[in-house]
Structure 1
Amino acid sequence: MINHQPIEKIQQKAKTNGNQTNKLERINNQPGDEMLLERPQNQIQEEEFLIRPTEMSDLEKAVELFNVCSLHMIGKKEASLTDVRSEWLLPQFDLERATRIVLIPEGKVVGYIEVWDIDRTPVRVWVWGRVHPDYEGRGIGTNLMKWAEERARQAIDKVPADLQVTMQSGSFSTYEAAHELFRDRGMKTIRHFYTMATELDSLPEKPQWPDGLHVRNIRGEAEIRDVIWVIRDAFKDHWGYVEQPFEEEYQRWLHFIRHDDKYDPSLWFLALDGDEIAGISLCEEKSSEDPNMGWVNVLGVRRPWRKRGLGLALLQHSFREFYSRGKHRAGLGVDAS
């Protein structure tokens, strides 16, 4: 759980229009492997668009699309080959079943969508997609969302009958095209999140650790299990938390840190009370969109140690480390609710 202590000079950087959600009902429709997109009745199109399952050979073109879209929406690139490849290679993520990619006859990628329902009990199905800004308004987003809804309904059979399954997605608050698409599909806004950033003009203030607590780095993969346990304990009362089998979560963590070139154990900080971990700050030397900004990926304080300034101390410690590495900014994401 993020400890909401005031942080000097921290500013709103970008507001995301949180999670859009839609309740799913049981149906028998199954998505096809390949289909032509429907055309809006009131528009004439010069091209035919082909939608098919994504392949690993599409990686570079897909990442190019993601960055064209993020440059259009927020003025910065947000995707890297390494990050996307590591997600596509996750053993539980079936690229053929979980994604669709849209191409024009020349082979250019103009649309993409992915459906995440890999949890053992997938009551919240996450959908993420992009449409090339030059091809908006031609039915690509609508057809991709229709496919995603059908695909997401498959999660219903994986959960007990008394549980509700929702499909969730998100968008930048300033990007009305996405909001309109979500509304047209019957979705509603339920949550807002912020990306926060602060300038590191000078060495940040030295942290004041609560009595009896000290900080050190993680000791490699041997402590990954301990870190996961702390995160589960710290975030179990957070919105949307659904506990999954520990061993499955552990294997996913190992996959991502072994495939992530940004993983740096010298930037994973553990605050300890004796031998017990009270809080964590798991950082990356640079964010996906700004190489000069250090990024706090996970900040968590367990309930018995909250309201003692530990969250602030972990942030200050992390910011000082960023500054020592020549970073001019620091950022993190927070739940605005």
Structure 2
Amino acid sequence: MRRSMRSASEGYDELKLRPATKDDRDAIFHVRKLFEGPEMTPETLGNHLQSLDLEKQTRVVESSEGTLIGYAELWQRRPGWFTPQIWVHPLSQRRGLGMKLLQALEVCAFSFSDETPCTLLAQPSGAGRAADHLLEKRGYFLQSTYEVRELTMRTAPAPIGSVPGIQIRSFVPAQDAQKAFEADNEAFLDQKGYISRTFELWSQRLKLHADDFDPTLCFLAWDEEHVAGGVYNHIERGVGEVMHLGVRRPFRKRGVGTALMRYSLAEYYQRGITTVHLTVDADSLTQAHLLYERLGFQVKDTYRNYIYELSKREQRAQ
């Protein structure tokens, strides 16, 4: 079948690669809407683009006729760590444009990191494997696979129960934050690829200083004066989000994680929130996914974490 888009037959020499501009919003939306849900609108995309340094963090590919057929953006997770995201119009795929955009974003990463080697973390999702093949061809390696799980509560959740020697209470940031942070860092030492965070980065990840952060949705498990584990929750568009659940090694296999989740589900249900989402490492050394399975969470999607270490020498060679 012959493709209707003329650019599908064009070569690299006829294409234009450049940073995005604010005037590209509608053209970028036209490409991205083919891959994303209804929650993305031209307005939300426009607000997102305003949050980026378009010169340093974005690239578009145009056909010889000036049609935007590909878009890519780079966002910084923490110093030296970046995630590339790429969208190529279906009629222009399988021509190497994804690789061209990926390499362009790798070069962009160095504008943020000076002499520090960069780490790229790509996260393709869904059942398709085209993006995985692209990343593997480029030299990225698969570090982990995550499941996106969902629970719909049609009736009140099971009773909370108790754990001997453990007290569970709401998180009070002013007095609990430092102990909670230290416990959380320890709890995730078994996670593949985990890098210990500073208190500031931990606070940012959990949105502790955001206007809509609600500490009464978060719970800590205490063994006297020591934090055994914690769960941090958030409500987004009427859906409960379990941002983070961690239990320190000495307190595992005692039902602490289950108790923290039951407290969370009970609080959500009391507030009229009956759908809850979370993500979990499908190959977790702690087998956390089995805990969520027992609580009734079903797999709705998956995404893979691909890692690539990019040196200055590679950047100069591109």
* In 2: Cα distance, 1:269 partner to 1:298 partner: 11
- Structure 2: which amino acid aligns with 1:170? Q
Q: Is the CA contact (8 Å cut-off) linking 2:72 and 2:84 kept in structure 1?
A: no
Over 3 Å counting, the alpha-carbon distance change for 1:328 and 1:131 in structure 2 is: farther
Determine if the alignment matches structure 1 residue 293 to structure 2 residue 239: yes
- Equivalent residues in 2 for 1:226-241, closer than 5 Å: 226-241=179-194
Q: For residues 20-59 of structure 1, what are the alpha-carbon distances to aligned partners after superposition, in whole Å with 9 as ceiling and x for unaligned? A: xxxxxxxxxxxxxxxxxxxxx98228x955521667x878
1:191 Cα deviation after fit: 1.9
Alignment correspondent of 2:214: 264
Deviations 1:48-86 (A, max 9, x none): 55521667x878986886555223xxxx64799889969
Residue 172 of structure 1: CA displacement?
A: 1.4
AA matched with 2:72: Y
Higher relative contact order (CA 8 A, sep 6+): 1
Cα separation, partners in 2 of 1:58 and 1:260, compared to 1, 3 Å: farther
Corresponding position of 2:9: 43
Quick one: which of 36, 49, 52 aligns to 2:19?
A: 52
Cα RMSD for the two superposed structures? 4.0
Alpha-carbon displacement from aligned partner over 1:171-193 (angstroms, at most 9, x marks no partner): 11412332232233233433211
Name the TM-score, length of structure 2 as normaliser: 0.68
2:35 is aligned, of 66, 69, 76, to: 69
Q: 1:79 to 1:235 in 2, by over 3 A?
A: farther
Does the 8 Å CA contact 1:60/1:81 hold for their aligned counterparts? no
Aligned to 2:151: 198
User: Deviation at 1:106?
Assistant: 7.5
Q: Answer yes or no: is the 8 Å Cα contact 1:67–1:77 preserved in 2.
A: no
Measured against aligned partners, the alpha-carbon deviations of 1:179-236 in whole angstroms (never above 9, x if no partner) come to: 2322332334332111112221111111222112222222245544333222212112
Name the structure 1 match of 2:234.
284
What percentage of aligned pairs have identical amino acids? 24
Select 2:169's aligned residue among 216, 221, 238.
216
Q: Which residue of 2 aligns with 1:175?
A: 128
For residue 272 of structure 2, give the secondary structure of its aligned residue in structure 1.
coil
Distance in 2 between the 1:239 and 1:58 partners?
38
Partner of residue 278, structure 2: 332
- The structure 1 residue matched to 2:87, chosen from 109, 115, 130, is 130
Give, in angstroms, the shift of residue 137 of structure 1: 4.2
Larger Rg, first or second structure (1 or 2): 2
* Aligned positions, number: 273
Matched, 1:143 2:100: yes
Contiguous gaps of at least 5 residues in structure 2? 1-6, 284-318
